[in-house]
């Protein structure tokens, strides 16, 4: 079944208020083109989740599309903080459920495996848990190990409405491969009601059948497949292109103030019709060619 559509068609399938799991990790495989299109379409009141906060979540929060975030903390690595997310938390303009990387991925895993809950050693004794119990009292509970009687923290399964995942290779059905570490992406996809795959390379299913051990996303879980080059820009896609350090610095500087962020959005999100215009604004083929990954190094 051919599920290939344009980015705007895929984004249009997401209603305001939906829970969207994002594939980004800091400055890599972040769903940037997706986030920009969400803002252009005026989708609002989203819940976004990911184990480690990334630039995609920061752009969505900066554009006012998010009312709740579930994440394990995050940054732009050495480029700086997730300024928009942090400011929104400090101002109380979004509700932030803060976890750790493992407690987030265990919530996705429980959702994926159909477990009613999952016990975990993390979070206990921390203010992170104390804060979480305030903002999301139904996300955690305590359970006694029926074998030893020991008390354990239990996490509620997480089942997002849709996972949006940036991959290197996919076929028209949505069967997809991810090169490099996959962090929480497999569990996000398996826990979500459906998945939107955004891929660098679109290949015939014939190619998938040649190396099926690599297929970490099953086609039947996928509702839309979008083939869009540099759709994670300015973040990196391993074996495809490197992060655009200059642009991330420009973003990090702009995001420090609401005014700066406003100007960034006006120019790079609202100032362009779509991702193709965005790429031209950056300098088109000439600029993007500089980011192409070395085939051996992968960056």
Scanning residues 181 to 240, which ones bind a copy of itself (CB under 8 A)? 213-214
Q: Cα 260–68–227 angle (5° rounding)?
A: 75
Question: Cβ–Cβ contacts within 10 Å for residue 299, how many?
Answer: 16
Only one of the segments 13-21, 119-127, 195-203, 274-282 lies at the binding site for another protein (rule: CB under 8 A); that segment is 119-127
Residue 131 binds another protein, judged by CB under 8 A: yes
Residue 84, interface with another protein (CB under 8 A)?
no
Q: Are 221 and 190 in contact (CB under 8 A)?
A: yes
Binding mask 21-60 for another protein (x = CB under 8 A): ----xxxx----------------------xxxx------
Between residues 74 and 219, which has the closer beta carbon with respect to a copy of itself? 219
- Told to check if 229 binds another protein by CB under 8 A, we report no
**Is 104 within 8 Å of 132 (Cβ atoms)?**
no
Candidate residues 12, 18, 95, 102; the one interacting with another protein per rule CB under 8 A: 102
SS (H, E, C) 132-181: HHHHCCCCEEEEECCCCCCEEEEECCCCCCEEEEEEEEECCCCCEECCCC
Instruction: Assess 222 for contact with another protein (CB under 8 A).
Output: no
- What's the CA gap between 149 and 280, in Å, rounded? 62
Give the span between the Cα atoms of 281 and 54, in whole angstroms: 23
Query: Least CB distance from residue 211 to a copy of itself, whole Å?
Result: 10
Q: Least distance (Å) from a copy of itself to the CB of residue 260?
A: 39
Verify binding: residue 177, another protein, rule CB under 8 A: no
Among 62, 242, 261, 279, binds another protein (CB under 8 A): 242
* 220: contact with another protein by CB under 8 A: yes
37, 56, 98, 200: which one binds another protein (CB under 8 A): 98
Cα separation, 280 vs 261, in Å, equals 21
Contact assessment for residue 94 and residue 69, using Cβ atoms and an 8 Å cutoff: yes
Instruction: Determine the Cα–Cα distance for residues 161 and 192; give it in Å rounded to an integer.
Output: 6
In order, the DSSP letters of 55-108 are HHHHHHHHTT-EEEEEES-BBBTBT-B-HHHHHHHHHTSSEEEE--HHHHHHHH
SS3 state at 120: strand
CA 207 to chain centroid: 26
**Does residue 148 bind a copy of itself (CB under 8 A)?**
yes
Among 9, 15, 93, 150, binds a copy of itself (CB under 8 A): 150
In the set 16, 93, 205, 289, which binds another protein (CB under 8 A)? 205
Q: Which does 119 bind (CB under 5 to 8 A by kind): a copy of itself, another protein, none?
A: a copy of itself
Residue 154 interacts, among a copy of itself, another protein, none and using kind-specific CB cut-offs from 5 to 8 Å, with a copy of itself
For the CB of residue 155, give the shortest distance to a copy of itself in the complex, in Å: 10
**Residue with smaller CB distance to another protein, 40 or 218:** 218
Closest distance to a copy of itself from the beta carbon of 7 (Å): 27
Contacts with a copy of itself by CB under 8 A lie at: 114-119, 121, 138, 141-148, 150, 152, 154, 156, 179-180, 213-214
């Amino acid at each position: 079944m051919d599920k290939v559509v344009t980015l705007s068609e895929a984004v249009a399938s997401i209603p305001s208020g939906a829970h969207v799991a994002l594939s980004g990790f800091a400055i890599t495989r972040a769903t940037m083109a997706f986030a920009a299109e969400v803002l252009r379409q005026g989708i609002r009141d989203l819940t976004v989740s990911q184990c480690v906060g990334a630039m995609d979540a920061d752009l969505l929060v900066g554009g006012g599309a998010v009312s709740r975030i579930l994440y394990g903390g995050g940054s732009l690595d050495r480029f700086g903080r997730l300024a928009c997310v942090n400011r929104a938390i400090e101002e109380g303009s979004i509700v932030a459920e803060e976890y750790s990387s493992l407690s987030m991925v265990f919530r996705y895993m429980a959702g994926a495996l159909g477990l009613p809950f999952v016990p975990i050693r993390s979070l206990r004794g921390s203010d992170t848990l104390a804060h979480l119990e305030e903002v999301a009292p139904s996300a955690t509970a305590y359970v006694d190990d029926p074998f030893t009687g020991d008390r354990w923290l239990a996490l509620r399964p997480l089942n997002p409405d849709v996972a949006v995942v940036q991959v290197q290779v996919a076929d028209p059905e949505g069967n997809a491969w991810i090169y490099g570490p996959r962090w929480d992406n497999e569990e996000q996809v398996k826990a979500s009601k459906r998945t939107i795959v955004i891929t660098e390379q679109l290949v015939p299913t014939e190619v998938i059948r040649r190396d099926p051990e690599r297929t970490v996303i099953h086609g039947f879980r996928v509702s839309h497949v979008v083939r869009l080059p540099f759709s994670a820009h300015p973040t990196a896609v391993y074996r495809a292109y490197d992060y655009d350090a200059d642009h991330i610095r420009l973003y990090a500087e702009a995001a420090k103030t609401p005014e700066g962020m406003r100007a960034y959005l006006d120019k790079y999100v609202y100032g362009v019709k779509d991702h193709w215009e965005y790429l031209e604004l950056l300098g088109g083929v000439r600029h993007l060619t500089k980011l192409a990954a070395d085939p051996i190094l992968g960056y």
